[in-house]
Structure 1
């Protein structure tokens, strides 16, 4: 017969080993579950593929946002490496590589290029960390199918000042000190450059009435030809330029004023949103508004009067001694600004109806 302590060891040791085995098994199973949960997306897709995770470091640095240009705006390509070097916006990396869709922190989607085809939007589920930016510089007259966007987008980037990312066609900046200016010599009276002729639009009707009382040189499709190379040299000969918008819409003040008129040093005669709306963005004496006159004939009489009044005409340029016009000319600036805004925006928000928000701006 074996001693008593030997018998106890024979019983005790297997029990201890069994307990150790169970503890090790439970710990291993729990650790694996924790790892799986940690790398599982909100939509249930497992993300424990370390190879995919490691790819992120290849495409962007730590604390850098990866912004996917989903479609080139109007098919126009632009440099993707200018955020820091040109605009001083750090921590942003732009890409047009759709294979990085799941890695991207945000998508910027230009509406005109997706508005006729819902399937041109991303078809894969959106990663839970990703935000979509709706980019649009056109008025309601132009854009279609806003219902495509319901509950998909998180931010807006438009010419409206109440957008998440405000992208006007132009703006004025105060000069550090007053400067003198010289008005180019003028030999002609009124010019208008128009590319799209919308029958029945207010600007067409107003032009047809105005031209009864004052000569207007019209350039563009179906009118006098004018190349871009000769544009500013030609228009700068005119005292007045008809900066008539194709839509009357909140904050919609386009290159017709900021570029065509101001860069040509012609006084803009504007037709569009209200004078009050214009004066939110530039001095009231920088333009002539058609609504200031009871009729097109009264406006024509006033322009003829200014044509014979050098001092009265010059007052429409006095603001230039205090301000300068600034225009962003590259698409890349908008995408870099979107990245800047994303860095400062709330972690998450959703726009239930872009259509409702955008159309409410009509007035």
Structure 2
């Protein structure tokens, strides 16, 4: 058969949409052969495929045992006779007359790869659009790949491209049939091998809404994660074959960026597994990035660092989970012992959470585990809302009678999906910083008289104002306020925001921060968001250190302080200029300044003291008490 184009259609249980897919290809009226590969369908898809094979002479149904997507594509390419080939999923569609347009301009240019636009079937919007300046451009594949990575538009899926068959054979370019994520390495290799890549603005591939790739994280997750880490290592090795000489630096840097993106995806799944019985972290070479990070092109260094940081965070989160003290207790129990316990599963949580004190005081009828294999038999499940989207692959069924707890320490406006009423209706209890929460988890826990600095004198304060803000979350508009304030007073900034100073000596984290604050009269204590009850360590750390916080944040902040005159509130000033004028007055007037330290020697606000005392018990101990209370209410 002589044809211009071979369309390889892989289908698996696409009974509802396969006919529409095939009609869209046939309607292009191009001399096209259509090769159908069955992905192991159990519905009526196979019958539909057979009917099209019987009706159209250019349609062929491959009859062979299904060995995975990679093998199916390789077999399809092997059977193809067209000058070009494209890959289509049985639930997607091809735009009318688009194949002819792509073929004509691709063949005329003798391009090895021809790139068109992928369109979302639901919204008709372009997905992963390449930069418009690349439209109608022909360039070497490595340059095209680099342009896409720099624009954050690189898509590792083989859909959306047309490939020259002879070139594929010359390069011996085939999908790794042992890899679940074969697309990743195949697409990277294709761009490196291609002499000519043509980018077009032709909308031709219409992508259907896809089910999640991991239908059952317990079963599919481990091999998927392991294969991504393996692929990341292969891409790292590939990058090492290029040098950091100036002519190749940007190319090499983009390959490293791609490898780190794959590592990030792999470690995201790793940290979502959290079941001891099904996964062991394989060895990898991701951290060798630290050895070459200074050689990375400045055009791509921030992207590389972002991928590496996120991948490292996921890995550290997994390691913290792996070494948690809860699971050995549960795993060493007999089934009879476990049946007598109420299991609290912490589905996910922040890296800073420690459980030792909780375990020491846990009621005898409760156990806490972080192992998700207990998710169906748990009495209660605690979900830490920030980052929960990184841990979910599809819906989690809620067994009847199981209690779900919504845990959060971040401003909800930072994660707007947390404000979704339908989502929140799923939860039975809330554990957060709000005063009305079922279990209050504030930032003032541990703020005790015994810990605060005493005997403060003006002479101790050699410096005036400092600031340590690095997060760029700016819902409070604190960045603009600080920028204007710095026009009128000097501020030593040690964080990434407006950094102009550096700490001396070894950075010991919180200990170094408290020591730094203690040297200053004032500390900028601006929250990233302004919400009722959202009062964080931004306020409490300066108070502990013996400084005076200049506060911007919760409108009800005085409900969460030991005294009303322990801080300077920006709300009390009409502008940063007026605040600066008052601060200068405090520099010169020791009596005015010292009135913000009187609280240290006086009885504290009794309401605040009681709030702090409640926090002497771990929130998880108080959760057990609330759960027991729900029993008595029923």
TM-score (norm 2): 0.40
Matched ranges for 1:4-153 at <5 A: 57-59=336-338, 61=340, 64-74=341-351, 78-79=354-355, 82-83=357-358, 85=360, 87=361, 91-115=365-389, 118-119=392-393, 123=396, 125-146=397-418, 147=420, 149-153=423-427
Residue in structure 2 matched with residue 16 of structure 1 by the alignment: none
Determine if the alignment matches structure 1 residue 209 to structure 2 residue 484.
yes
Structure 1 residues 290 and 165, CA gap change in structure 2 (3 angstroms)? same
Pick aligned residue for 2:579 from 296, 299, 305? 299
The residue number in structure 2 matching 1:247 is: 529
Query: Secondary structure, in 3 states, of the residue corresponding to 1:285?
Result: coil
1:288-316 deviation line (CA, Å, top 9, x unaligned): 10111122122111111112222222221
Cα distance between partner residues in 1 of 2:453 and 2:531: 35
Matches within 5 A, 1:320-339: 320-321=600-601, 322-323=603-604, 333-339=618-624
Tell me if structure 2 keeps the 8 A contact 1:135–1:158: yes
User: Is the 1:115–1:145 Cα contact (8 Å) retained in structure 2?
Assistant: no
Partner Cα separation in structure 1 for residue 514 and residue 453 of structure 2? 21
**8 Å Cα contact 2:526-2:552 kept in structure 1:** yes
Kindly tell me: are residues 72 and 197 of structure 1, through their superposed partners in 2, closer, same or farther at Cα, counting changes over 3 Å? closer
Map 1:122-271; keep pairs closer than 5 Å: 123=396, 125-146=397-418, 147=420, 149-170=423-444, 181-183=454-456, 185-198=460-473, 201-221=476-496, 223=499, 224-226=501-503, 227=507, 228=509, 230-259=512-541, 261-271=542-552
- The Cα shift of 1:135 comes to 0.5
Separation of aligned partners in 2, 1:120 and 1:215: 51
- State TM-score, norm by structure 1: 0.68
Secondary structure, aligned partner of 1:286: coil
- Describe the SS at the equivalent of 2:386: helix
Q: Distance in 1 between matches of 2:433 and 2:353?
A: 21
Label 1:347 to 1:205 Cα distance change in 2 as closer, same or farther (>3 A): farther
Which blocks of at least 5 consecutive residues in structure 2 are unaligned?
A: 1-332
**By how many angstroms is 1:136 displaced?**
0.8
How far apart, in 2, do the equivalents of 1:182 and 1:239 lie?
14
Q: Deviations over 1:182-229 (max 9, x none)?
A: 116110011111011346852111111111111111111262344325
Q: What is the CA distance between 1:273 and its match in structure 2?
A: 2.0
> How far is the alpha carbon of 1:286 from its aligned partner?
1.1
Q: Does the Cα contact within 8 Å between 1:189 and 1:239 map onto a contact in 2?
A: yes
The CA distance in 2 between the partners of 1:111 and 1:242, in whole Å, is: 28
Considering Cα pairs closer than 8 Å and 6+ residues apart, tell me whether 1 or 2 has the greater RCO. Answer: 1
Structure 1 residues 204 and 347, CA, compared in 2 at 3 Å: closer, same or farther? farther
TM-fit CA distance, 1:150: 4.5
Distance (Å, rounded) in 1 between the aligned partners of 2:468 and 2:477: 16
Moved more, 179-188 or 203-212: 179-188
SS of the aligned residue for 1:284 comes to: coil
- Gap runs ≥5 in structure 1: 1-53, 350-363
Q: 2:312 is matched with which residue? A: none
Q: After superposition, what is the alpha-carbon deviation per residue over 1:299-358, rounded to whole angstroms, capped at 9, x for unaligned?
A: 111111112222222221222232498989x9x933333223222236799xxxxxxxxx
Distance 1:269 1:89, change over 3 A: farther
Displacement of 1:91: 4.0
Shift of residue 285, structure 1, vs aligned partner: 0.7
1:316 aligned to 581, 584, 596, which one?
596
